[in-house]
Structure 1
Amino acid sequence: MEVSLELGAPGASKWFDDDGRVKRTGTLWTASAHIITAVIGSGVLSLAWAIGQLGWVAGPVAMLLFSFVTYYTSALLADCYRSGDPNTGKRNYTYMDAVRANLDGFKVKLCGCLQYLNIVGVAIGYTIAASISMVAIERSNCFHKNGDDSPCRVNSNPYMIMFGVAEIIFSQIPDFDQIWWLSIVAAVMSFTYSSIGLSLGIVQVIKNGGVKGSLTGISIGTVSEMDKIWRSLQAFGDIAFAYSYSIILIEIQDTIRAPPPSEAKVMKRATLISVAVTTIFYMLCGCMGYAAFGDMAPGNLLTGFGFYNPYWLLDIANVAIVVHLIGAYQVYCQPLFAFVEKWALETWPRSQFIGKEIHVPLPARRSYKLNLFRLIWRTTFVVVSTVVSMLLPFFNDVVGFLGAIGFWPLTVYFPVEMYIVQKKVARWSTKWVCLQLLSLACLAITIASAVGSVAGVVSDLKFYRPFKAS
């Protein structure tokens, strides 16, 4: 076959990019869809509770600060996709590849442990969130039929199993570039349930005849002084989780078609659009939820039953949450799937079990490449994460803890350190000092948030009995 070379990066052609891979087709809008799918997740539902702990002043300010830090550090990270020249430098296909290209061995291993641990945690958190939404649908219909005071106890475990089965099926999609359609569907779903939550909050405020809440958040007396401290710290973790997506930014950037403009420029614009859109949604949903319920804002706006009616609208919102989480689970887990499969192939390059692909015919003259190792490994991962979710169904505390442990190292520390190396920022220069101060400030918030979330989990465990209906 004759290959006609095009103008652009060395080695680029009509069918292949400069690195020899099939041409990437991602755009500003597909990248934005991936980011929105990853960012506007179940975390939005805990923001009314988070603002309720911090109050009308600290709550919105914290949200704006987290959005700025996320955008800024994501822009730094986008510059690390290529080593050297932003248009023709060597590509780093994953977050780990970028760390490996810029930092030393220990930091690479530390980053790998943190990134993949965070992905496992997100898989568990999303399984919990999806089951809570499915339980909420059943309870909502029960309340409608039997009255708001009915116990309507429902066991979440069958719903976690259902979600796990769906993820086993979707996890067989081979790689990131082939799930763009799932990201777009998930992004639409996220706007759907966020809009419903916002609308119900507005209606509740009108029904109340005014805005609830206070400048300093939930008051001492409603909770103890120590609980106020723990809950406030956990609120920072919830907000951090709501903005967490840096661990898959490089993977998203690797789907963008070759320059011009450079992938970094496209990614920065996609990040700006996505973070701006999600911050507006977050502010509206979080603030309106707090305005509607004040100190009694539920930990999950659509499943905590601050709202009971219209029940069918709540059902639609919760179905949208489940569909969104199915897609978000895949967006987050694809880097881990790819890492394990690449490592296995490099370790046992002659293994037929790991490397062989069986072509399964599909309609319209298409075929699916079935890989037995991929089938068994990904299925095992989903099963294990589902079982762990069944043992720890604490949505709010798990969200806060995941946000806390993942925010500083993956969203701030590694992007800052890689950028300093990539751009050769001089030690003790004004820019270097400012970047280090930003990193230290975020470290302090991470430690405080993790402590608050752990305290919440410990408190929940005193009353929790696994595999029981709630």
Structure 2
Amino acid sequence: MVSATASPPQFKEVPTSGERARNAKWWYSTFHTVTAMVGAGVLSLPYAMAYLGWGPGTLVMVVSWCITLHTMWQMVQLHECVPGTRFDRYLDLGRHAFGPNLGPWIVLPQQLIVQVGCDIVYMVTGGKCLQKFFQIVCSTHCAQFRQSYWICIFGALHFFLSQLPDFNSVSAVSLAAALMSLCYSTIAWVGCLSKGRGSEVSYGYKKTSGGDYMFRVFNALGQITFAYAGHAVALEIQATIPSTPEKPSRVAMWKGAVLAYFINGICYFPVAIIGYWAFGHDVADNVLVALERPAWLIAAANLMVVVHVIGSYQVYAMPVFDILERSVVKRWSIPPGLMLRLLVRSSYVAFTLFVGVTFPFFGDLLGFFGGFGFAPTSYFLPSVIWLRIMKPKRFSRSWIINWLCIFIGVFIMVASTIGGLRNIVADSSTYQFYS
């Protein structure tokens, strides 16, 4: 007989290189997820609509919202799919699903593409928005700097912030970033609404060659995919929430994720639809850049974007830091501590800064990384893992839904990767590097 005073069994941990704090509340998952998802991608949604058009563009956005909400639910459930074990990382779950040898090769490259790709895009976004803010508030009496200098200024902040040790230490930054994302998204669509629809605005297809337009459409799919990017860090976020058999972490995490998706919806759809309505097919790949009035409000919105991508960069960088530091400790036996963080994290920030300064093509980067990394991790890899671990009955509702997610996700991955890469090459041919 079990003693009435016996304590309930606790979930054991997948081995890590250090202690993991598990004292987060359910709302922490909300603003971490919002920070991870509602980022630079929201500003390019009108641009994606310009190539897809009203009907297909709206349909792709709605389908993407539904698919990724479904796969987010799967990730939350899979975190504790083995009784007594918590899979704190996407990599740990991949090892369990595909085996210790194959799992890392399937999961780790995709996750790193998402996280590193996001940080590169956020370097570009932060620098461009800093430049736009400076141009608005000091347009007449100040010397104008090159865009690459502004990206470097933004990147310099992260050499300091990257020394924060873990997810819980960036909670305040992440909360501020989540609030800023809601604010600047609202300013973007309200600004477009107040601007109104110009007399020469057209919603027809852009005048370009058939081949070029097809690649631009493929790139637009990737831009929408980029906007649904929280899955790559979902398990790491859930790992900060305490869990017991009576109150498993999936309950709190799902509660936070649903609220995050609601915020996601009220940010994405108004920006995409009203932004496209206001500018038509001539909308810029960053809708805030296209807005000029009222000047003080647009300046504030650009500064809000800067605050947001500061937090988003850290949310995506933390899992990468963990992977890199574990690898360095294991390979070279360097003890964990301040020196290790300075070496590894500063090198990572320098790398993302260099790539961002070299290839500052905001829309093209969104499309490429959206297809190459985000489509697998957000659209179909959770469904593949679900089929392997949970094994739903063939032709059941779960089986059919998951295979639909896989087919749609694979198509988006292939198409948007091709489109984004082609557009980067095409735009690079006319760009003056480090200008």
Relative to the length of structure 2, the TM-score reads 0.91
Indicate yes or no: 2:409 matched with 1:442: yes
AA in 2 matched with 1:343: S
Cα 1:124–1:432 shift into 2, 3 Å: same
Query: Partners of 2:6 and 2:127 in 1: how far apart?
Result: 50
**Equivalent runs, 1:338-417 vs 2, <5 Å:** 338-348=322-332, 351=333, 354-355=334-335, 357=337, 371-417=338-384
Cα 1:330–1:11 shift into 2, 3 Å: closer
AA in 2 matched with 1:47: L
Indicate yes or no: 2:295 matched with 1:296: no
Answer whether contact 2:329 2:336 (CA < 8 A) is retained.
Answer: no
Query: Partners of 1:68 and 1:426 in 2: how far apart?
Result: 22
**Equivalent runs, 1:66-215 vs 2, <5 Å:** 66-85=64-83, 89-104=84-99, 105-141=101-137, 145=140, 154-205=145-196, 208=198, 213-214=202-203
Cα 1:281–1:128 shift into 2, 3 Å: same
AA in 2 matched with 1:275: Y
Query: Partners of 2:433 and 2:11 in 1: how far apart?
Result: 57
Identify which of 232, 238, 242 aligns with 1:247: 232
AA in 2 matched with 1:226: G
Query: Partners of 1:107 and 1:252 in 2: how far apart?
Result: 21
Q: Aligned pair count?
A: 427
What CA deviation, in whole Å up to 9, does each residue of 1:77-132 have, x standing for no partner? 111112423xxx21111111111122122242231122113322211111011111
Post-superposition offset of 1:244: 1.1
Structure 1 unaligned blocks of 5 or more:
147-151, 358-370
Query: Partners of 2:383 and 2:228 in 1: how far apart?
Result: 17
Structure exhibiting the larger radius of gyration computed from Cα positions: 1
Answer whether contact 1:49 1:235 (CA < 8 A) is retained.
Answer: yes
Post-superposition offset of 1:276: 2.2
AA in 2 matched with 1:228: Y
Query: Partners of 1:321 and 1:33 in 2: how far apart?
Result: 15
Q: Secondary structure at the match of 1:174?
A: coil
Indicate yes or no: 2:285 matched with 1:277: no
Post-superposition offset of 1:142: 5.7
Identify which of 20, 28, 31 aligns with 1:30: 28
Post-superposition offset of 1:269: 2.3
Query: Partners of 1:268 and 1:262 in 2: how far apart?
Result: 11
AA in 2 matched with 1:393: P
Post-superposition offset of 1:153: 6.4
Q: Secondary structure at the match of 1:79?
A: helix
Indicate yes or no: 2:217 matched with 1:219: no
The aligned residue for residue 398 of structure 2 is 431
**Equivalent runs, 1:1-12 vs 2, <5 Å:** 7-10=7-10
Post-superposition offset of 1:176: 1.5
Cα 1:128–1:6 shift into 2, 3 Å: farther
Greater CA deviation, 308-317 or 328-337? 308-317
Query: Partners of 1:121 and 1:33 in 2: how far apart?
Result: 21
Cα 1:356–1:337 shift into 2, 3 Å: closer
Q: Secondary structure at the match of 1:355?
A: coil
Answer whether contact 2:94 2:106 (CA < 8 A) is retained.
Answer: no
Post-superposition offset of 1:261: 3.0
Query: Partners of 1:285 and 1:430 in 2: how far apart?
Result: 33
What CA deviation, in whole Å up to 9, does each residue of 1:301-339 have, x standing for no partner? 112xx2222222111111111111111000001001001
Cα 1:55–1:107 shift into 2, 3 Å: same
Query: Partners of 1:332 and 1:421 in 2: how far apart?
Result: 27
Answer whether contact 2:392 2:398 (CA < 8 A) is retained.
Answer: yes
Query: Partners of 1:439 and 1:29 in 2: how far apart?
Result: 30
Cα 1:394–1:10 shift into 2, 3 Å: closer
Q: Secondary structure at the match of 1:267?
A: helix
Identify which of 419, 425, 428 aligns with 1:452: 419
Answer whether contact 1:77 1:418 (CA < 8 A) is retained.
Answer: no
Query: Partners of 1:38 and 1:137 in 2: how far apart?
Result: 23
Post-superposition offset of 1:184: 0.3
What CA deviation, in whole Å up to 9, does each residue of 1:165-191 have, x standing for no partner? 111111101111221111101111111
Cα 1:154–1:291 shift into 2, 3 Å: farther
Cα 1:11–1:325 shift into 2, 3 Å: closer
The aligned residue for residue 310 of structure 2 is 326
Indicate yes or no: 2:224 matched with 1:231: no
Cα 1:7–1:461 shift into 2, 3 Å: same
Answer whether contact 1:83 1:101 (CA < 8 A) is retained.
Answer: no
Post-superposition offset of 1:208: 4.1
Identify which of 54, 57, 64 aligns with 1:56: 54
The percent identity for this pair of structures is 28
Query: Partners of 1:408 and 1:99 in 2: how far apart?
Result: 16
Greater CA deviation, 66-75 or 254-263? 254-263
Relative to the length of structure 1, the TM-score reads 0.85
Post-superposition offset of 1:434: 3.7
Answer whether contact 2:11 2:243 (CA < 8 A) is retained.
Answer: no
